Homo-oligomer: A and B are copies of this chain.
Amino acid sequence: MVRKTKEEAQATRNQLLDAAARLFCEQGVASSSLHEIAEAAGLTRGAIYWHFENKGDLLTALWERVALPMQQAFDEVAQQQAMDPLARIQRKACWVAECIETNEPVRMLMTILMLRCEFTQELESTRGHFLRVREDCLTQMAEEVRLAMQAGQLDPAQDNEKIAVGLFGLVDGLCFHWLIAPGRFQIASVTRLSVSAYLAGFKP
């Protein structure tokens, strides 16, 4: 039972990613051996080494599988021209929190990235991805803030980049706390409240 069709091979790859996500999430990246992952997927390490280079590559693939569609959805929210700049900012910030709560793959990936992996030399490429995506989002967000300033919704005397950085910190920090202390608070409502207060603090 070898040499399957391309579709079956893709299914195998997804099985491996699913198993890796579950094990990484449960017991951490370092503590999950490739043998365990393969076994959890009902396969052997040979399958892993066929589809991926090593554990780092596996994690990167996991991240891409979730992040790519998420990035698209994020951009779609950004295209909502019906809303004014400030409403768009608020919507985008809260959307991340909602995703973490409702979308299990996203929640698992964020759990892995924030609590179950070590950003060391081995995962340098993963960290690079992370930083680049973050930088893109930050640039977009700073631009939105600038537009909100132009529209008279935020104080134009402020630094739009700093405002965007603070907003990112707020959202990611809430995600971090919610993930490490699950069920401690309602992330969606707290994020809505916090973000609107934060933005209100920058009104002219």
**Interface residue ranges, A against B (CB under 8 Å):** 27-31, 115-122, 127, 130-131, 134, 158-159, 161-163, 165-166, 168-177, 180-181, 184-185, 189-190, 193-194, 196-202
Contact = CB atoms under 8 A, between A and B. Distances in A.
A177 B185 CA distance: 22
A118 B159 CA distance: 36
The secondary-structure label for the interface of chain A is helix
Q: Which of A31, A116, A170 has the most CB of B within 10 A?
A: A170
Contacts of A118: 28-31, 115-118
A166 B174 contact: yes
Nearest to A24: B118
A91 to B, nearest CB: 17
Nearest to A130: B180
A89 to B, nearest CB: 13
